Structure 1
Amino acid sequence: MSDEALSPNRVRLREVLAQLPDYKPGKPATAPPGVTAYKLSSNENPYGPLPSVLKAVDEAATTINRYPDMAVSALTQRLAEALDVPAECIATGTGSVAVLAQVVQAACDAGDEVVFAWRSFEAYPIVAQLAGAKPIMVGLDADARHRLDAMAAAITDRTRVVLVCTPNNPTGPAVHGDELERFLARVPDDVVVVVDEAYVEFVRDPEAVKGLEVWRKHPNVVVLRTFSKAYGLAGLRVGFAVAHPPVAAAIRKTATPFGVNSLAQVAAIASLDAVDELTERVESIVAERDRVVQALADQGWKLPRTDANFVWFPLGEQSSAFSGACEAVGLMVRQYGDDGVRVTIGESEANTRLLEVTEKFGAR
């Protein structure tokens, strides 16, 4: 290659790209020799696909020379039946994060605002800025929960979308139904409120918001869900939104054509058909979460309540030391700068090893 080919070019790219934070995926699993490594950094389901799901994917693989159904018709109808909502109220995408981007693109013009709690899902500011919108971050309270009153106060005439992550990623607490209703009473009805329920299947807090019930009462509410977590299809990328018809239609317009691939569509339907088996797996993860949470409390740790498949350690400047202690024994965890460390509930052996680390590290 010539020096001329390697010389800087003058292609103009969007200035916002230089300002965007990089989305940081969970680290792959590595461990010292002779030690089993566990990836507890991405909130993945530790169980492999169900046999019935694998069988459906295997059969569908013979047709991957053809484009997928762009309308995702069969999965949309199956979701409509499972959730008891009209099919016209469902919009799909390549994971709930992609559907979120579709929502923001559908609602925001350049200079508009997207309000959300922080720290929350790290894709939120990225998605907002890529749409040309300004992210408005409202800090969490001392219990790592949304401050909905402060979020309502942050809404201006340029606000187009508000994001409510429940349970909140990465801190764990769920938003309560009564507090969300009070919040919605203060939100203008022309502002889209996204209730992001990526971890809803793991919720056991009796006061937690039920997104679909809220959606039925509020035309400006959109509920986001995913097959990546409880359903264990993170590698196939399929999520969906439940929205009222005009909003759902707008979300579908902003989708990448043929984005949800044919294997993902088939696997999602097979997973819905195997809901009883998947529910058993979710219950086992919740039981492991409860075991870990109780053991941490017994060790003296004071952590935020979690209704997701992870626990949050708000360690501040001790975050790097804790993350390093975990990685030294083959546990890959997710550090968020000097805010804290999120650890996914994984295999029983991995969770027990985590408790050994926390015992030695000392409660904070």
Structure 2
Amino acid sequence: MTNRMQRREFLLSTALAAAGLGCLHSRAQSFKPGSPPDDLLLLNQNENPYGISKAAEQAILDALGRAHRYPGESQSQLRDMIAEREGVPKEHLILGAGSAEILSLATLLFGSEGKEVVVADPGYFDFVDFVRSARGKLQSVAVDAEYRHDLAAMERRCSRRVGLVYVCNPHNPTGTIVAGSRLRGFCEEVARRAVVLVDEAYFE
């Protein structure tokens, strides 16, 4: 009788444990990092809630026949168009495969191998990772009480060892904006000592 009861209790506890593991697995899957539900938009990563425009969709379809070729002359034409629109020399423009490539190149050029890089804290995580990968020295400056760049504190941090100053405006991850007049004055002053990189990807 005792053995039968022990066996029954063992089987019952095993069944309950198995059921519990199934629930845990299901919950673990639902909270798996980097796997949000398909119906959620990542607004913090610039996913467009309205979807792709019809004009952009048609342009992509029209270009499919040339997708197997390198950009070549079309890249130069795009630089010409941007230069004319923005009123800057073509030589001042560089194109990249997304802003991440440009940020990475800027870090390698001006913020690598022991050079100091001034950033807001918290700051855009990809850029911070680029600096660390390039062996730059992060000089993190806390955002102000309104979660904006503390430009005065960032300027004070700019010593002779600083090679690059990074301003993400609107800021990621806080979403705040520095007014253009304040930012221009900051850039004009700090650019005498270091390269200032203003990332405005989130104005889109």
Give yes or no for contact 1:27–1:39 (8 Å, CA) kept in 2: no
CA shift, 1:84, in A, is 1.8
Mapping for residues 10-21 of structure 1, pairs under 5 Å: none
2:70 aligns with: 67
Q: How many residues align?
A: 171
2:127 aligns with: 124
Structure 1 range deviating more: 169-178 or 153-162: 169-178
1:171 aligns with 2:174: yes
Code of the aligned partner of 1:39: L
1:343 aligns with: none
Higher helix share: 2
CA shift, 1:182, in A, is 4.2
Give yes or no for contact 2:158–2:193 (8 Å, CA) kept in 1: no
Code of the aligned partner of 2:125: E
Instruction: List structure 1 runs of 4+ shifted beyond 6 angstroms.
Output: none
Code of the aligned partner of 1:125: V
Change (3 A) 1:185 1:59: closer
Render the CA deviation track for 1:29-66: whole Å, top value 9, x for unaligned: 25xxxxxx322453311222222222221121112222
Task: Tell me, in whole angstroms, the C-alpha distance in 1 between the residues paired with 2:87 and 2:130.
Answer: 30
Q: Which 5+ residue runs of structure 1 have no aligned equivalent? A: 1-24, 31-36, 201-229, 231-364
Change (3 A) 1:63 1:174: same
2:87 corresponds, among 60, 84, 87, to 84
SS of equivalent residue, structure 1 residue 146: coil
Give yes or no for contact 1:107–1:161 (8 Å, CA) kept in 2: yes
SS of equivalent residue, structure 1 residue 171: coil
2:139 aligns with: 136
Give yes or no for contact 1:105–1:131 (8 Å, CA) kept in 2: yes
Task: Tell me, in whole angstroms, the C-alpha distance in 1 between the residues paired with 2:185 and 2:71.
Answer: 42
Give yes or no for contact 1:145–1:175 (8 Å, CA) kept in 2: yes
1:28 aligns with 2:36: yes
1:97 aligns with: 100
Code of the aligned partner of 1:195: V
**Normalised by the size of structure 2, how large is the TM-score?**
0.74
CA shift, 1:74, in A, is 1.7
Q: Which 5+ residue runs of structure 2 have no aligned equivalent? A: 1-32
SS of equivalent residue, structure 1 residue 49: coil
CA shift, 1:129, in A, is 1.6
Code of the aligned partner of 1:50: S
Give yes or no for contact 2:117–2:166 (8 Å, CA) kept in 1: yes
Give yes or no for contact 1:111–1:133 (8 Å, CA) kept in 2: yes
Mapping for residues 1-364 of structure 1, pairs under 5 Å: 27-30=35-38, 37-41=39-43, 42-69=45-72, 72-184=75-187, 186-187=189-190, 189-200=192-203, 230=204
CA shift, 1:26, in A, is 6.0
SS of equivalent residue, structure 1 residue 53: helix
CA shift, 1:124, in A, is 1.9
1:329 aligns with: none
Render the CA deviation track for 1:280-326: whole Å, top value 9, x for unaligned: xxxxxxxxxxxxxxxxxxxxxxxxxxxxxxxxxxxxxxxxxxxxxxx
Task: Tell me, in whole angstroms, the C-alpha distance in 2 between the residues paired with 1:45 and 1:191.
Answer: 34
Change (3 A) 1:76 1:182: closer
Change (3 A) 1:69 1:106: same
Render the CA deviation track for 1:156-206: whole Å, top value 9, x for unaligned: 221000011111112122112343344345425141101111122xxxxxx
In terms of Rg, which structure is larger? 2
Give yes or no for contact 2:160–2:193 (8 Å, CA) kept in 1: no
